[in-house]
Amino acid sequence: MDAAVIPSDAELMALAGEVAAAAIERRVMVATAESCTGGWIAKTLTDLAGSSAWFEAGVVTYSYSAKEALLGVNPRTLERTGAVSEETVLEMVSGALARYGAGVAVAVTGIAGPSGGTPDKPVGTVWIGWKRRGGYAHAQVHHFDGDREAVRRQTVAAALAGMTAELKA
């Protein structure tokens, strides 16, 4: 399990500020594709005044059908690996980048709890994917501790930190 360091609202806003600064510097728009965070990444980014200059779009796709329709996730991927998988998050982030015209995207899918976990994918399992236009999608799995809010907060923080790294790479 990842260490349960639960980021505060101020810490999340600081991370969003880093994304904003990097996006402005690189002159790229940002997109988000979220499942377990329910739009929290997009909300954190758009809480910043002036975000319309660098935030393109955010989409929340909880169901398989939404992932397919709004992000182009292949139904066979979902049937074979499930929603919480590396394959699915890579297709989510690639779909967000392709469909929403941004220069960089982040996608998250996971099990925030309190139920829904399995022995192979316990509560707290979260996949995060990032991709820059013209680059390759990559993903990272996390196993966060805590209750539903703690898992979601940690996911938002990891997604934003990774997006800053992607923008600065």
Q: What is the pLDDT of residues 69-89, one digit of tens each?
A: 999 999 999 999 999 999 999
Q: What is the pLDDT of residues 98-143, one digit of tens each?
A: 999 999 999 999 999 999 999 999 999 999 999 999 999 999 999 9
Cis, bond preceding 114 (omega within 30 deg of 0): yes
pTM of the full structure:
0.96
Residue 124 tokens, joined: 């707290």
Asked whether the beta carbons of 84 and 127 are under 8 A apart, the reply is: yes
Q: Model confidence at 5, in pLDDT bands (50, 70, 90)?
A: confident
| Single-letter amino acid, residue 49 | A
* Alpha-carbon span 75 to 64, nearest angstrom: 8
Mean pLDDT, the chain, whole residue set: 96
Residue 1, pLDDT score: 46
| Single-letter amino acid, residue 141 | V
